[in-house]
C-alpha cells in the first residue's frame, strides 16, 4: 500500500510511504518526504514540494492507495493550503482522501522516541504515562491534546492559554514557547521536543500505527477532510454602508 500524507497545520510538509497492510509497522518504507522550517510560506512551497516526491505525478499519483491530510488544529491560512491541495489531488487522481488530526503526528513522534540514560543508551519509551502535545496557536495560546502512553487520544483538541494544562509531560513547540507557564502548573517540558511540529512524515507513521491496531485502512476510524480550526474566523461580513447624509 502506498499513501501520500500532507500536513500544513504548522509547517508545510508532505511524505510518501509504502507498507504491507498485513504488517504495516515492520514493512514501512519512507519513499520520500519534505518539510519546511518556515510556518508562514505554505502556499508557495507546498506544490513544488509534493511534486518533488514523484518521478512522474501523472502516472504515480493515480497509483496511490490513499491520501491522508492533517486536519489541524492550526491557523486558517496554512491549514487551508494543505487541505485544498489534498482535496484537489484526490479529485484529480481519483484517490480516496482521509483526514487525521495533526496533533496525532506529534503524539506518534513521542511514542516512537526512546528515553535515554546518562550513558546515552535507550532504556524505555520517552512517555511512560499520559502526556500532552501542544503547538503554537498564536494570540498567546496553544492547541493541545492529551494522549495515553500508547499515543491514543484521551482529551482534546483544545485551544487556550498554556496555563490550562496541568501536570505531566508536555511536548511540542507550544510547550517550548510557554515552558515557564507550564512548569509553574506542575508540567514537565521535554527540551528535546521544545521545537517539534507536526509533519506529514509522522502523520504517515500515525496512519500506519492506526492501521496496525485496526487491521485495515477502512476500520482505522479516520476523519473526513474537514478542518479543525477551533476558532471563529477573524474575517467578518461587512455591514451595510452608512448614509453619508
- Report domain extents, the chain: 2-102+198-214, 104-114+124-193
Whether 240 has a pLDDT exceeding 80, the answer reads no
**Range scoring the smallest mean pLDDT among 37-41, 96-100, 143-147:** 37-41
* Superfamily of the domain at 2-102+198-214: ATPase, nucleotide binding domain (3.30.420.40)
**What does the pLDDT read at residue 43?**
76
CA-CA-CA-CA torsion sign (204, 210, 211, 213): positive
What digits encode the pLDDT tens for the residues 209-230?
999 999 888 888 899 999 999 9
138: left (phi over 0), alpha (psi -120 to 50) or beta: left
What digits encode the pLDDT tens for the residues 16-48?
999 999 999 999 999 999 999 877 777 789 999
Given CATH 3.30.420.40, say whether it is the number of domain 104-114+124-193. Answer: yes
Whether 243 has a pLDDT exceeding 70, the answer reads no
68 close to 5: Cβ distance less than 8 angstroms: yes
**What does the pLDDT read at residue 39?**
76
**What does the pLDDT read at residue 242?**
64
Q: Measuring CA to CA, which residue among 123, 102, 104 is closest to residue 12?
A: 102
Would you say the CATH fold of 104-114+124-193 matches that of 2-102+198-214? Answer: yes
Amino acid at each position: 500500500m502506498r499513501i501520500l500524507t500532507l500536513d500544513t497545520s504548522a509547517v508545510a510538509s508532505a511524505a510518501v510511504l509504502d507498507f504491507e497492510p498485513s504488517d504495516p509497522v515492520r514493512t514501512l518504507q519512507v519513499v520520500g518526504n519534505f518539510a519546511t522550517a518556515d510556518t508562514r510560506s505554505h502556499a508557495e512551497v507546498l506544490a513544488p514540494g509534493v511534486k518533488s516526491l514523484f518521478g512522474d505525478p501523472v502516472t504515480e499519483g493515480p497509483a496511490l492507495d490513499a491520501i491522508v491530510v492533517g486536519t489541524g488544529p492550526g491557523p486558517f491560512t496554512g491549514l487551508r493550503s494543505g487541505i485544498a491541495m489534498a482535496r484537489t489531488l484526490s479529485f484529480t487522481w481519483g484517490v480516496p482522501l482521509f483526514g487525521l488530526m495533526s496533533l496525532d503526528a506529534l503524539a506518534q513522534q513521542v511514542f516512537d522516541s526512546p528515553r535515554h540514560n546518562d550513558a546515552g543508551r535507550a532504556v524505555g519509551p520517552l512517555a511512560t504515562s499520559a502526556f500532552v502535545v501542544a503547538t503554537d496557536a498564536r494570540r498567546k495560546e496553544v492547541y493541545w491534546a492529551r494522549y495515553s502512553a500508547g499515543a491514543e487520544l484521551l482529551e482534546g483538541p483544545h485551544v487556550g492559554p498554556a496555563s490550562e494544562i496541568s501536570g505531566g509531560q508536555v511536548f511540542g513547540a507550544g510547550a517550548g514557547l510557554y515552558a515557564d507557564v507550564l512548569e509553574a502548573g506542575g508540567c514537565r517540558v521535554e527540551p528535546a521536543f521544545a521545537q517539534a511540529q507536526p509533519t506529514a512524515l509522522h502523520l504517515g507513521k500515525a496512519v500506519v500505527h492506526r492501521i496496525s491496531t485496526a487491521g485495515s485502512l477502512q476500520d482505522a476510524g479516520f476523519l473526513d477532510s474537514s478542518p479543525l480550526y477551533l476558532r471563529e474566523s477573524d474575517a467578518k461580513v461587512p455591514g451595510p454602508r452608512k448614509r453619508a447624509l
